[in-house]
Chain A
Amino acid sequence: MITLTDVWLTLGERQVLKEISLSVPAGETKVILGGSGSGKTTILRVILGLYRPDRGSLLIDGQDITATRERNLTEVRQRMAMVFQGAALFDSLTVRENVGYRLWEQGRLSDAMIEKSVRDSLQFVGLEYAIDKMPAELSGGMKKRVGIARALASGARIILYDEPTAGLDPINTCMISRLIQLLKSKGVTQVVVTHDLATAYRVADRIVMIHKGRMIFEGNPKELQSSADPDIRSFLEPDGQCFDSEAFAASEIGEP
C-alpha cells in the first residue's frame, strides 16, 4: 500500500507538487491523469524515493520513508519496480541481462532460477524470442514490454508506470494496457501515470487528476466522465478550447 499525505515539492524555483494526498491500497491500479508538466511523473519519483518532499509524508506498506536516507532506501525500492517513459533499458546489456538485472545484483538465486524467471517474464510480455537482442535492436513498443518484463522479473508487488503507452501505435497501446490488466489480476499494486484517456479507462480502478501540481479529482472512471469541473472538462474535451480562438488565447498553453 502506498500513502502520500500532504506532499509538497519544490524543484529549483518551481513549486511542482502542492498538497498531494493519495492512497493506493494493495492490489489496486490507480491512474494519475494530467496534462504535460502537471507534476504526474514527479509523484512517481517521490514514491520511488528519487525526490524527497519538502513537506508531507510517504508511507510504503505502512513504513514511513519520507526521511529515510538514500543508502537505506535500497530495501524499500526493491519492493517496487518502475517502467520508465523511454523504458530506460541499460543499453550496454542484452534483453536477458536487463530483465534479470535486479536478480543478478541481489545474488540470492542460482543462475538457472534467474534464467527461468527471465524467460517466464519475457514470455508473459510475448518477447521470449528477443532474449539475446540488445535494446538498440528493439522497437519502442518492444522496449516498453521489456521494461514491464524487467519489473515483473524483479518480483516487485508495486509497479509504477510512467506514460507506458506514450508514442506507441494503437496495437502496442492495447497490448500494454492488456499487460497492465493481467498484472492487476495477479494482485500487483500499480500506479499508472498517463495522459492517454483510453488507457486510463481501460486499466484504472480509480483515477486521480493533477492540474498545476495540485490534485483536483479522485474517483472512478465514471465519476471522472461526469465531473463538471472546468479543468477536468477541458482535459476530457479539449476540442472546445483548441478550436475556439478566444478560449485558446485565454488558455495556459505555453505557460510553465
Chain B
Amino acid sequence: MTTHEVHLKARLIGGVLVVQEFAFLCARAVAGLAYIPRHIRETILQIDRIGVGSLFIVVLTGMFTGMVLALQGAVQLEPYGATIYVSRLISTSVVRELGPVLAALMIAGRVGSGIASELASMQVTEQIDALRAEGTDPIQKLVTTRLVACVLMIPVLTIITNGVAIFGGWLIARLYLGIDSYFYWTWAFEALAPRDMFVGLVKPAVFGFLIAMVGCYAGLNTKGGTVGVGISTTQSMVSSSILILSCDFFLTKLFMAFP
C-alpha cells in the first residue's frame, strides 16, 4: 500500500469514526430527554437565549427577504401582467423554502457557533470534567437542554421569519408596486395549503436538531487551547450550514414523494 493510500484509508476511518461518535452523542442526548425536568432551569435559560436572543436577526432576515422577493417577483411577473400575484410567489417560496432555510442559516451562525464556542471553552478550562466530577452528566445538562431549546424555538423563529417576510413583501407591494392590500393578503393566504405549513414546521425542527447537535459535538470534541476553540466554532458553523442546505434538499424530495 502506498503512502497516499495509507493516508486516504486513515482519513476514511477517521470520517467513519466522527459519524459514529456524532450518532452516539445524538442517541445520548435524546435519551437525556427523560431527565429534562431535572434541568428545567437550564432548558428555560437556553430557550430564552436561543429564542428571544435570535429574534432581532430573524426579523431582519425575514423583512429583507420578503422585500427583495417582492421587487424581483414583480420584475418577473410584469411582462405577463401578473404583478398582483406577487404575494403568491412570496408566501409559497418563503413558507416552503426560504423562511426555514434562511432562518436556520442565520441561527446556525448565531446560536450554533455560540453553543460550540461556549462548550469548547468549558472543555479547555476543564469545566466539563468538573461537571462530571460533581456527579452531573454533561450530556444531559449541556447537550439535551440545548437540543430541546433549538428544536422548540427554531420552528417558532421560522414562523416569525415567514410572517415578517410576507409583511415585508406587502410593504413593497403596497408602497412601491401599488398593489391593493386586499388582493395581496388574499392571494398570499390562498396560495398556501395546510401541507405547506406542515413542511414549513418540520424542516426547522430538523434544522434545530442539526444546529444543536453539531454545535455541541464540535464544542465537546475541542482539543488544544484557544486555537481549538476557534477551530470548533468555525467547524460548527460550516458543518451545520452544509447540513442544513443538504438536508433541505432531501426533505423537500421526501415530502414530494408523498403528495
Contacts and interface: CB of A to CB of B under 8 A. Distances in A.
A71 B126 contact: no
A71 B133 contact: no
B135 A88 contact: no
A101 to B, nearest CB: 6
Interface of A: 45, 48, 50, 70-71, 74-75, 77-78, 80-82, 84-86, 88-91, 101-102, 105-106, 154
Interface string B99-134: 000000000000000000000010001110111111
Contacts of A91: 121, 125, 127
B133 A77 contact: yes
Nearest to B130: A88
B252 interface: no
B20 interface: no
B130 A90 contact: yes
A86 B137 contact: no
Interface residues of B, number: 13
Report whether over half of chain A's contact residues are helix, strand or loop; otherwise say mixed: mixed
A84 B137 contact: no
A102 B134 contact: yes
Contact of A71 (B125, B127, B137): B137
Contacts of B137: 70-71, 74
A88 B135 CA distance: 15
Contacts of B125: 86, 88, 91
A106 B130 CA distance: 15
Sorted from nearest, which 7 A-B pairs have the closest CB atoms? Answer: A88-B130, A88-B126, A78-B135, A74-B135, A82-B133, A77-B135, A84-B126
A85 B126 CA distance: 9
B117 to A, nearest CB: 13
Contacts of B129: 45, 50, 82, 84, 88
12 contacts: A70-B137, A71-B137, A74-B135, A74-B137, A78-B135, A81-B133, A88-B125, A88-B126, A90-B127, A90-B131, A91-B127, A154-B134
Contacts of A84: 126, 129-130, 133
Contacts of B136: 74, 105
* Interface-central residue, B131, B133, B137, by most chain A CB under 10 Å: B133
A75 B126 CA distance: 21
A101 B135 CA distance: 10
Contacts of A50: 129, 132-133
Given A84-B126, A85-B126, A90-B127, A101 B134 contact: yes
Given A88-B125, A90-B127, A80 B134 contact: no
Contacts of A101: 134
Nearest to A48: B133
Contacts of B132: 48, 50, 77
Contacts of A80: 133
Contacts of A105: 134-136
